[in-house]
Structure 1
Amino acid sequence: MLNRRTMLKMLATLPFMGGVAGSNAIRKVSGEKLARPGYNRDFFTELGVKPFINAWGTITAKSGSLMHPEVIEAYNYASQQFVDLNELQDKVGERIAEMLNCEAAMVTAGAASAMTLGAAACITGKDQEKIRALPNLPGQQLEVIIQDTHRFGYDHAVRNTGVKMVEVNGPREMEEAINEKTVMMLFFNAAGEHSVSREQFVEIGQRNNVPTFIDAAADVPPVENLFKYIEMGFDLVTFSGGKAIRGPQSAGLLFGRKDLLEAARLNTVPHSNTIGRGMKVNKEEILAMMVALEKYLERDHEKDWEEWENRVALIDEAVSSVESVETDHYVFPVANHVPHLSIKWDQEIINITPPKLRENLENGYPSIVTFGGDESVEVSVFMMQQEEVGIVAKRLKEELEMALM
Structure 2
Amino acid sequence: MPTTTVSPSRKVLGKSIYDSIGVRPLINARGTVTVVGATRVLPEVQVAMDEAVKDFVQIDELMNGVGLRLAEITGAEWGVVTSGASAAITVATAGCVTGGDPDKIWQIPNLDGMKDEVIIPSYSRSAYDAAAKAVGVRMVEVNTPEELKAALGPRTAMILVMASGASEDGPLSLKIIAALAKPLNVPILVDAAAEGLEVPNPHIAQGADMVAYSGGKYLRGPQCAGLLIGRKDFVQASWITSAPHHGFGRGLKVGREEIMGMLTAVEMWKKRDHAEEWRTWISWANYISHHLEQVPGVKTELLLPKGRSNRSPSLHVKWDISLIPLTGQEVEELLWENNPRIAVSGAGSYLPFPPNMEPNIRINPSQLAAGEERVIAKRVYELLSNPPQIEKPSGPAALDLSGLWDLEIQFVASVVNQTFMFEQKGNEIFGTHHASFGPRDLTGTLHGNDVLIRSSYTNEGVRLNFQFTGVVSNDNMDGILSLGEYGKAEWNAKRRHY
Q: How does the TM-score come out when normalised to structure 1?
A: 0.86
Offset at 1:91?
0.8
Residues 36, 218 of structure 1: CA spacing in aligned structure 2 closer, same or farther, 3 A cutoff?
farther
Matched, 1:383 2:356: no
Matched, 1:322 2:257: no
Equivalent residues of 2:97, 2:115 under 8 A apart: no
Q: 2:194 aligns with which of 201, 208, 218?
A: 218
Matched, 1:367 2:341: yes
* Structure 1 segment 8-27 matched on structure 2, within 5 A: none
Structure 2 CA distance for aligned equivalents of residues 232 and 128 of structure 1: 31
Structure 2 CA distance for aligned equivalents of residues 316 and 397 of structure 1: 10
Matched, 1:209 2:192: no
Gaps of 5+ in 2: 1-5, 347-355, 390-498
Offset at 1:71?
0.9
Is the partner of 2:217 in helix, strand or coil? coil
Say which is worse superposed, 233-242 or 202-211, in terms of deviation.
202-211
Is the partner of 2:182 in helix, strand or coil? helix
Matched, 1:276 2:249: yes
- Matched positions, count: 370
Structure 1 CA distance for aligned equivalents of residues 115 and 207 of structure 2: 27
Q: 2:328 aligns with which of 354, 357, 362?
A: 354
Is the partner of 1:298 in helix, strand or coil? coil
Is the partner of 1:122 in helix, strand or coil? helix
Matched, 1:81 2:55: yes
* Structure 1 segment 136-147 matched on structure 2, within 5 A: 136-139=110-113, 142-147=116-121
Structure 1 CA distance for aligned equivalents of residues 185 and 83 of structure 2: 28
Q: 2:85 aligns with which of 111, 126, 130?
A: 111
Q: 2:32 aligns with which of 50, 58, 74?
A: 58
Structure 2 CA distance for aligned equivalents of residues 38 and 263 of structure 1: 51
Structure 1 CA distance for aligned equivalents of residues 135 and 162 of structure 2: 18
* Structure 1 segment 61-210 matched on structure 2, within 5 A: 61-139=35-113, 142-193=116-167, 195-210=171-186
Equivalent residues of 1:141, 1:162 under 8 A apart: no
Aligned to 1:313: 286
Q: Whose radius of gyration is greater, 1 or 2? A: 2
Aligned to 2:420: none
Gaps of 5+ in 1: 1-26, 28-32
Aligned to 2:485: none
Say which is worse superposed, 133-142 or 227-236, in terms of deviation.
133-142
Structure 2 CA distance for aligned equivalents of residues 99 and 323 of structure 1: 51
Residues 325, 123 of structure 1: CA spacing in aligned structure 2 closer, same or farther, 3 A cutoff?
same
Residues 80, 213 of structure 1: CA spacing in aligned structure 2 closer, same or farther, 3 A cutoff?
same
Structure 1 CA distance for aligned equivalents of residues 13 and 215 of structure 2: 26
Residues 43, 312 of structure 1: CA spacing in aligned structure 2 closer, same or farther, 3 A cutoff?
closer
Equivalent residues of 1:171, 1:195 under 8 A apart: yes
Offset at 1:214?
0.4
Could you say what the CA RMSD is over the residues aligned between the two structures, in angstroms? 2.2
Equivalent residues of 1:96, 1:290 under 8 A apart: yes
Residues 141, 253 of structure 1: CA spacing in aligned structure 2 closer, same or farther, 3 A cutoff?
closer
Q: How does the TM-score come out when normalised to structure 2?
A: 0.71
Equivalent residues of 1:230, 1:237 under 8 A apart: yes
Equivalent residues of 2:97, 2:114 under 8 A apart: no
Offset at 1:34?
7.6
Matched residue type, 1:143: E
Structure 1 CA distance for aligned equivalents of residues 241 and 315 of structure 2: 43
Q: 1:304 aligns with which of 229, 254, 277?
A: 277
Is the partner of 1:144 in helix, strand or coil? strand
Matched residues, percent identical? 36
Structure 2 CA distance for aligned equivalents of residues 237 and 341 of structure 1: 30
Q: Deviations over 1:300-352 (max 9, x none)?
A: 22222222222221111111111011212213424323111111111211232
Equivalent residues of 1:110, 1:250 under 8 A apart: yes
Residues 276, 146 of structure 1: CA spacing in aligned structure 2 closer, same or farther, 3 A cutoff?
same
